[in-house]
A and B are shown apart, each in its own frame.
Chain A
Amino acid sequence: MKKIIFILLSLCLLFSCQKYEVVMPDTSMWNMYNDPATLPLNPAARAAMEGVYSLSRGNDVFGDLAAVKWSHIIQGSDTIFHVSGFFGKDIAYFICEGKQLNGAILFNGYWRKMVSTETGIIHLTIGAGDGAGLLLDPHPVIDSGKITINGLFGSGQEAPNRVITLSYIRKLNRDPAAFQIAAHRSGGRTSDLLPVSENSVAMILKTPEFGSTGVEVDVRYTKDGVPILYHDNTLNLREIQKSGLVGPIENYTYDQLSTFVRLVHGEKIPTLREALDAVVYQTQLSFVWLDTKYTGSIAPVHVIQQEYIQKAAAIGRTVDIVIGLPERDQFNQFLELPDYINTPSLCELGVTEVEQINANIWAPRFTEGTQNELVADEHLKGRKVYVWTIDEPAFIASFINEGHFDGMLSNFPSCIAYNYYVHQ
């Protein structure tokens, strides 16, 4: 009897595991959107429809307001545009592609809540009389109430069947370039059940859809000294697929990692060069925080940093690539760079250290509070101040509404985007 009980208990334990996952809905089934007569939207229409919208239907699921914003990436010779809607409830958002058809504007995509695994398909339409006519004008002028977006959304793979209605209220608040929405781990965490892996090139290309204007990436060295993106101390199943390789990532050469290891969603562990290539040449991201996860010389990373600042400038872009200094060890290594005083850096230590190395950015931890007086002092010295890492929506709102920061780091950039763009 005891043996049977033991075996039953063992079986219960074995089968009690519940794997949480978000199955990305198939958004290819909307016949109207797939109509061959659809045309791409023009840039003026995309820019004009960005703004703050109120929700009159669907607000029980998404909240009362939405910030709607476009982003794009470059893939080969193509430019791929997405429109994102950031909501105030449960860190919800939608991400859609857009087209025009017979004078109407269609948006097809999915919605997701970051506080849960809830997701589904969303179809949105701006009818010709609901503002599409204005938006498709070569020089659209949009006022409050001039655009109404109607649509349906569903749960999971089911056909959309619940109504959502958004009405344009006003432009997005503030100059989007004035505040850095920085996404953690190159755009988001694998543990948040995103469709791509953290610290991957795919995530860098995905994160603009979440509203990010910059990224923080975690830099480590391989055994043969190649700077790569990887967060944890060791190879583990939180970040990679099962490979048989265990232990510190610094034990392996880049060749070995490239041959045997894949991130959770199948991507290769990228080199820092591959990551910066994606940022500079494929996105409009304007800020990269190279978080120093290694101990040892910063010189190899410094060389790459300088190279990509120049590459960005050569194509007419300004990308602030800064070396992050989280602790005293890295700070001391930074002091060994011959021109550290002119090297763009972000320092998480106190203002004394920040001023000692002439850091471009001071990055205090959010638990220190808004520190408005210190922030104002650093502003007077020409320095920016970014706060990290805030994931709680109430704190994000509070720091945006009450603080004077120039940027914020979060695993939920869509939550920052909502609060920043909606804030008056």
Chain B
Amino acid sequence: MCTNKKFLWLTVIMAVLSVNKSFAQTNVKIDSNKIRKSFVLQVGGGFGGYTTVVHIKPPALTGSVNRYSAVGTIRLIWYPSYRLRMGFESGYTDFYSYKVKNDNKPGSVHLSAIPLLFVFSMQVIKRVNIYAGIGAYLETTHLCLRIEYCTIIYPAGYR
């Protein structure tokens, strides 16, 4: 399904971003033969882009759609005695946002998500790990339409 592109892109980006320098910085040995049955908490952050094409066409779209924002991730990974690791990942990300002006009514929308992913990890070469996950994104629409509605937040669906 084409709607899965977003998920796949995020998975790829996540994998690339997760070339985890923190191992080197914290002297964590990445040789799986020496790490046995331990849990590692990884906290990360950065700048992310919503790569799927966004064809937002409300009638009074002003400006463009902003698809870049800060991303925060927290991941708890189990390091067993074998090569494949697994764990749980969550965090916060903004997907995209835009503003409209219709009949002099200013409005804006931004869509954020909290990932709830079961993740797998594997070391491919020294100090380089790949990550892939499956799960849901709890999406929330933050919608402002005129001043009086600007605090309304809609906890919404999932993907």
Interface positions of B (Cβ within 8 A of A): 1-5, 8-9, 11-12, 15, 54-60, 95-98, 100, 102, 105, 107, 109-111, 124-125, 128, 130, 139-141, 143, 145, 149, 154-157
**Cα–Cα, bound, A262→B55 (Å):** 11
| CB-defined contacts of B124 to chain A, threshold 8 Å | 2-3, 6
22 residue pairs of the A-B complex, CB under 8 angstroms, read: A3-B125, A10-B11, A10-B12, A14-B9, A14-B12, A17-B1, A17-B2, A17-B5, A243-B56, A244-B95, A244-B141, A245-B143, A247-B139, A247-B155, A247-B157, A248-B156, A251-B156, A259-B60, A260-B58, A260-B100, A260-B107, A260-B109
Out of B55, B60, B110, B149, which one reaches A241, CB within 8 Å? B55
**Cα–Cα, bound, A245→B98 (Å):** 12
**Pairwise interchain contact A247-B141, C-beta atoms closer than 8 A:** yes
**Pairwise interchain contact A245-B109, C-beta atoms closer than 8 A:** yes
| CB-defined contacts of B157 to chain A, threshold 8 Å | 234-236, 246-247
| CB-defined contacts of A310 to chain B, threshold 8 Å | none
CB distance from B58 to the nearest CB of A (A): 5
**Pairwise interchain contact B56-A244, C-beta atoms closer than 8 A:** yes
| CB-defined contacts of A10 to chain B, threshold 8 Å | 8, 11-12
CB distance from A17 to the nearest CB of B (A): 4
**Cα–Cα, bound, A235→B141 (Å):** 11
**Cα–Cα, bound, A237→B55 (Å):** 11
**Pairwise interchain contact A259-B58, C-beta atoms closer than 8 A:** yes
**Pairwise interchain contact A246-B111, C-beta atoms closer than 8 A:** yes
Q: Is A13 an interface residue, CB under 8 A from the partner? A: yes
Q: Is A158 an interface residue, CB under 8 A from the partner? A: no
**Pairwise interchain contact A262-B58, C-beta atoms closer than 8 A:** yes
| CB-defined contacts of A242 to chain B, threshold 8 Å | 54-56
Known A244-B97, A255-B145: A266·B57 in contact at CB below 8 Å: yes
Question: Could you give, for residues 232-273 of chain A, a 1 whenever the CB lies within 8 Å of some chain B CB and a 0 otherwise?
Answer: 001111000111111110011001100111100010000000
Q: Is A19 an interface residue, CB under 8 A from the partner? A: yes
User: In chain A between 200 and 257, which residues have their CB closer than 8 angstroms to a CB of chain B?
Assistant: 234-237, 241-248, 251-252, 255-256
What 12 additional pairs, Cβ within 8 angstroms, besides A14-B5, A17-B5, A259-B102? Answer: A2-B124, A3-B124, A3-B125, A6-B15, A245-B143, A245-B154, A245-B156, A246-B111, A246-B139, A247-B141, A260-B58, A262-B59
Question: Closest 3 CB pairs between A and B?
Answer: A247-B156, A244-B109, A246-B156
Interface positions of A (Cβ within 8 A of B): 2-3, 6-7, 10, 13-14, 17, 19, 234-237, 241-248, 251-252, 255-256, 259-262, 266
**Pairwise interchain contact A256-B145, C-beta atoms closer than 8 A:** yes
| CB-defined contacts of B60 to chain A, threshold 8 Å | 259
**Pairwise interchain contact B57-A241, C-beta atoms closer than 8 A:** yes
In the complex, which of the residues A235, A247, A262 has the most CB atoms of chain B within 10 Å of its own CB atom? A247
The residue on B at minimum CB distance from A1 is: B124
The residue on A at minimum CB distance from B111 is: A244
Secondary structure of the B contact surface, majority rule: strand
CB distance from A377 to the nearest CB of B (A): 45
**Cα–Cα, bound, A367→B6 (Å):** 39
Known A17-B2, A244-B141, A251-B154: A262·B130 in contact at CB below 8 Å: no
The residue on B at minimum CB distance from A10 is: B12
Known A3-B125, A19-B2, A266-B57: A244·B8 in contact at CB below 8 Å: no
CB distance from B107 to the nearest CB of A (A): 6
| CB-defined contacts of A256 to chain B, threshold 8 Å | 107, 143, 145, 149
**Cα–Cα, bound, A236→B159 (Å):** 10
| CB-defined contacts of B9 to chain A, threshold 8 Å | 14
**Pairwise interchain contact B145-A262, C-beta atoms closer than 8 A:** no
CB distance from B142 to the nearest CB of A (A): 9
| CB-defined contacts of B156 to chain A, threshold 8 Å | 234, 245-248, 251
| CB-defined contacts of A262 to chain B, threshold 8 Å | 57-59
| CB-defined contacts of B102 to chain A, threshold 8 Å | 259
**Cα–Cα, bound, A378→B146 (Å):** 54
The residue on A at minimum CB distance from B110 is: A244
**Pairwise interchain contact A260-B143, C-beta atoms closer than 8 A:** yes
The residue on A at minimum CB distance from B2 is: A17
Known A242-B55, A251-B156, A266-B57: A3·B130 in contact at CB below 8 Å: yes
The residue on B at minimum CB distance from A234 is: B157
CB distance from B21 to the nearest CB of A (A): 17
| CB-defined contacts of B2 to chain A, threshold 8 Å | 17, 19
In the complex, which of the residues A19, A256, A261 has the most CB atoms of chain B within 10 Å of its own CB atom? A256
The residue on A at minimum CB distance from B149 is: A256
**Cα–Cα, bound, A72→B56 (Å):** 34
CB distance from B122 to the nearest CB of A (A): 8
**Cα–Cα, bound, A246→B111 (Å):** 8
Known A3-B124, A3-B125, A14-B8: A259·B54 in contact at CB below 8 Å: no
CB distance from B89 to the nearest CB of A (A): 18
| CB-defined contacts of B149 to chain A, threshold 8 Å | 256
In the complex, which of the residues A2, A236, A245, A262 has the most CB atoms of chain B within 10 Å of its own CB atom? A245
The residue on B at minimum CB distance from A266 is: B57
| CB-defined contacts of B56 to chain A, threshold 8 Å | 241-244
In the complex, which of the residues A10, A14, A247, A260 has the most CB atoms of chain B within 10 Å of its own CB atom? A260
CB distance from A351 to the nearest CB of B (A): 39
The residue on B at minimum CB distance from A261 is: B58
**Cα–Cα, bound, A251→B157 (Å):** 11
| CB-defined contacts of B57 to chain A, threshold 8 Å | 241, 262, 266
